[in-house]
Amino acid sequence: MKWNDPITELKGIGPKSAEAYRRLRIETVGDLLSWFPKKYDTFEPEQPIDSVREGRLVTVLGTFSGTPRVITTGKGMTILTATFRDSTGAILVKWFNAPFLRKQITQAKYVLLRGKVSHDRSALCLMQPEMYSPQRYREMMKTLRPVYGLTAGLSKSAVGKAVAEALRLCEISDPMTPAMRRELGLWNLRDAYEEVHFPKSEETTKDAIRRLAFDEFFRFLVGIRSVKEQTEAIPNRYPAVTHAYADRIIASLSYELTGAQKRCFSEITEDLRGASPMQRLLQGDVGSGKTVIAELALATIVEAGHQGCLMVPTEVLAKQHFAELTRRFEPLGIAVGLLTGSMSAGEKRAARESVASGETRILVGTHALFQQSVEIPDLGLVVVDEQHRFGVEQRAKLTEKGTMPHVLLMSATPIPRTLAMMLYADLDISVLDEMPGDRLRIRTAVVDTSYRPKAWKFLADHVRAGEQCYVICPLIEESDGLEASNVTDYKEMLEEALPDIRIGLLHGRMSASSKNEVMEAFADHQYDILVSTTVIEVGIDVSNATVILIEDAERFGLATLHQLRGRVGRGSKQSYCILVQGSDSDEAHERLTVLQTATDGFAIAEKDLSMRGPGDFFGIRQSGDNVFRIADPIRDAEVLTLAKRTVDGLTPEQYRKAVKLCLADKQENVIY
């Protein structure tokens, strides 16, 4: 069986499960093998019941006592409740829609329960635990269990079987010679695939990930090197030399540009008149003032007689930018257009026509806008906001169009400089390393869950003062399906506690249009508090929001927390960030307190890196960065360096072969 054969070749995959796989973009056997577990479950030793804490995944050993109860709710859901004890205490246990367990637990002797602890009115409660015999659990403790991001229609066991079958039948040719593997200290490819799906130990799984990460980095680096070479060979068809419009915008601003903004803009103007198209990354912390730089660049390109476009990740942001740009460009007689997915067919047509006729000089839209074909006849500059959602393939696509425009990518992802130089080796980098001076620092506090009532009162006080707040709950890792219910429960709790306050709800499972509606309603102050998952990380700018409360904050990386915190402090009022630590670990506390004093995203990213111990190896991936499937540029920095050195050291002949391999994205007998 070949890497590119359809998965329906595998035993047990019929049209129905093929459809479920397709939703995960898995069509070939190779796709299936490259669908890596999103994490591994490990099985910790049991702990005494009196030591369990809310929010933790725990294992307890004991017996059931009393009679289990089954009740049926109004909505037809059954809830099975039982009491479980050991020599130190007792805990309530709940299962939903599993009445059949009643018999099992009345007969059970000594068992282990493993599940998440949460609060049920006043008592701690173990939710939906898995049940094991002591003997079985001892066996499990020696293993890692892969956890896949499943979708409806696929079960864990079906996936396990399909992957095993694929591993057994599929030819996996290794593009790397044994000599080279030895030199780099890397596993062979087949063993690596086998190990990540069927891990034997933590140690060996790390080795396997190392190999797979190397390949991913290698392909990526070859890809960007080739993109860079191609762009450098293309002449600048959209030269822009004068910047009178930009000067007029600068003169109209209510503030003075920072030194860093001036420097970055002059780097951009140099590029715009250069020999080949601009390929620049503008990196600047949240709130460092990237938008105005984009406006100045767009003004300059329009002045030279060309058109420009601004791509942003979400509709709400597109609308916000559109409003802002219209305000800025109207006085100059420059027409700005908007194109987003939710516009009616007629509106879209009108927007497209206006661009095609040349009347619209600047088009604002979502990234999706680029997937659909819009024709911008004289497109001289593409600005992409929040670059980390914009992969190298999309960049390569722009090059393919032949008439390569200037490209300015803007990112707030604070990655350390050394990493940036590798990951963005194809780009020139400008850094906005200076914050506008008038900002008040966001006051940040780390608290435990007992502080929650006070925190809610704090939110309520700010709401009564006419301000708005965010509450963020993390993704529930056990099952993506629980994500929604988690924020939903939280919203209900808040509504009960603060009945006169308008609360909105936002999470990743909502349709794009409902997400938009909620975000717009919040921006329009129809809600006072927005309870959300991290989907708001990029995409909303409400200067009236002054408090952000983040639950289970220790589950997030510092860099993500910093991004989330950047949702407030965007206006002139004092803003606050409350980090609620859900578990009582001292390390977590120490890590979170970094944010109380640190305000600079770059410093925070470095700190995050240095504080991530080996224990975090299987931790949460940097959120939002979907460029890599298994590699994590921060966690795997060493492998990235290795891959970079390898790519730089390729002979021209090897490099040509590698480009072929990487662009084909196929398994072929190509030696690196």
Interaxial angle between packed helices 558-565 and 586-597, expressed in degrees from 0 to 180 and rounded to the nearest 10: 40
255 contributes a contact to ligand ADP by CB under 6 A: yes
Of 114, 219, 280, 290, the one binding ligand ADP (CB under 6 A) is 290
- Please identify, using beta-carbon distances, which residue of 231 and 430 lies nearer to ligand ADP: 430
Beta carbon of residue 544, minimum distance to ligand ADP (angstroms, whole number): 12
Nearer to ligand ADP, 284 or 504 (CB): 284
What is the smallest separation between the CB atom of 297 and ligand ADP, expressed in angstroms? 13
Query: How many Cβ atoms from other residues are within 10 Å of residue 410's Cβ?
Result: 23
Q: Does 99 bind ligand ADP (CB under 6 A)?
A: no
State the nearest-atom distance from the C-beta of 306 to ligand ADP, in Å. Answer: 23
How many whole angstroms separate alpha carbon 46 and alpha carbon 496? 35
Q: Which residue is nearest to ligand ADP (CB)?
A: 289
Instruction: Name the residue nearer to ligand ADP (CB basis): 110 or 255.
Output: 255
For ligand ADP, give the closer residue by CB, 320 or 581. Answer: 320
CB closer to ligand ADP, 230 vs 599 = 599
* Interface with ligand ADP (CB under 6 A), residue from 57, 90, 257, 609: 257
Taking CB under 6 A as the binding criterion, the range among 179-187, 256-264, 268-276, 423-431 that sits at the site for ligand ADP is 256-264
Neighbours of 100 (CB within 10 A): 11
Q: Give the interface segment with ligand ADP, choosing from 141-149, 254-262, 296-304, 664-672 (CB under 6 A).
A: 254-262
- What x/- string results for residues 292 through 321 when contact with ligand ADP is judged by CB under 6 A? x-----------------------------
By CB under 6 A, tell whether 601 contacts ligand ADP. no
Residue number with CB closer to ligand ADP (89 or 436): 436
Binding mask 559-598 for ligand ADP (x = CB under 6 A): ----------------------------------------
Query: Of these, 287, 308, 337, 582, which contacts ligand ADP (CB under 6 A)?
Result: 287
- Residue closer to ligand ADP (CB basis): 224 or 431: 431
- What one-character-per-residue DSSP string does 578-642 give? EEEE-S--HHHHHHHHHHHH---HHHHHHHHHHH--GGGTTSPPPTT--S-SS--TTTTHHHHHH
284 binds ligand ADP (CB under 6 A): yes
Q: Between 249 and 662, name the residue whose CB sits nearer to ligand ADP.
A: 249
- Shortest separation between residue 389's beta carbon and ligand ADP, angstroms: 14
288 binds ligand ADP (CB under 6 A): yes
Nearest approach in angstroms of CB 497 to ligand ADP is 32
Instruction: Considering only the stretches 281-289, 357-365, 477-485, 661-669, report the one whose residues sit in contact with ligand ADP under the rule CB under 6 A.
Output: 281-289
Smaller CB separation from ligand ADP, 292 or 339: 292
Contacts with ligand ADP by CB under 6 A: the residue count is 15
Q: Binding mask 406-435 vs ligand ADP (x if CB under 6 A, - otherwise)?
A: ------x-----------------------
Indicate the pairing of strand 39-42 with strand 144-147.
Answer: antiparallel
Residue for token digits 């399906």?
481
Angstrom distance (rounded) from CA 113 to CA 232: 61
Residues in the chain: 672
The smaller minimum CB distance to ligand ADP, of residues 145 and 263, is found at 263
Query: What is d(CA 208, CA 528) in angstroms, rounded to the nearest whole number?
Result: 48
Nearer to ligand ADP, 115 or 287 (CB): 287
H helix runs in 357-501, sequence order = 368-371, 392-400, 417-423, 452-464, 480-497
Written as six digits, the tokens of 326 are 């219209």
By the 8 A CB rule, do 566 and 287 touch? yes
Phi/psi-derived region of residue 255, left when phi > 0, alpha when psi is between -120 and 50, beta in every other case: beta
Cα(669)–Cα(672) distance, integer angstroms: 9
Rounded CA-CA distance 337/105 in Å is 64
Q: Is 520 helix (H, G, I), strand (E, B) or coil?
A: helix
What distances in angstroms separate CA 138 from CA 45, 61, 198, 233, one per listed residue?
A: 9, 12, 18, 62
Q: Which residues contact 360 (CB under 8 A, 6 or more apart)?
A: 307, 335, 336, 337, 351, 354
Rounded to the nearest 5°, which phi and psi values hold at 400?
Answer: -60, -30
Buried b (16+ CB within 10 A) or exposed e, 222-257: bbbbbbbeebeeeebebebeebebbeebbeeeeeeb
Q: Which amino acid is located at 134 in the chain?
A: P
Please report whether residue 438 would count as binding ligand ADP according to CB under 6 A: yes
Structure tokens at 480: 């993506």
Q: Which range touches ligand ADP (CB under 6 A), out of 42-50, 179-187, 213-221, 284-292?
A: 284-292
Is residue 464 within 8 Å of 316, Cβ to Cβ?
no
Cβ distance to ligand ADP smaller for residue 160 or 436: 436
- DSSP, collapsed to helix, strand or coil, labels residue 394 as helix
Nearest to 320 by CA among 522, 36, 565: 522
Of 291 and 399, CB closest to ligand ADP? 291
CB nearer to ligand ADP: give 209 or 542: 542
Compute the least distance from the CB of residue 181 to ligand ADP, in Å.
Answer: 43
Among 269, 291, 399, 534, binds ligand ADP (CB under 6 A): 291
The piece of 211-219, 251-259, 414-422, 588-596 that touches ligand ADP (CB under 6 A) is: 251-259
Residue from 239, 436, 508, 619 touching ligand ADP (CB under 6 A): that is 436
Residue 387 within binding range of ligand ADP, rule CB under 6 A: no
Residues of this chain that interact with ligand ADP (CB under 6 A) are: 255, 257-258, 261, 284, 286-292, 412, 436, 438
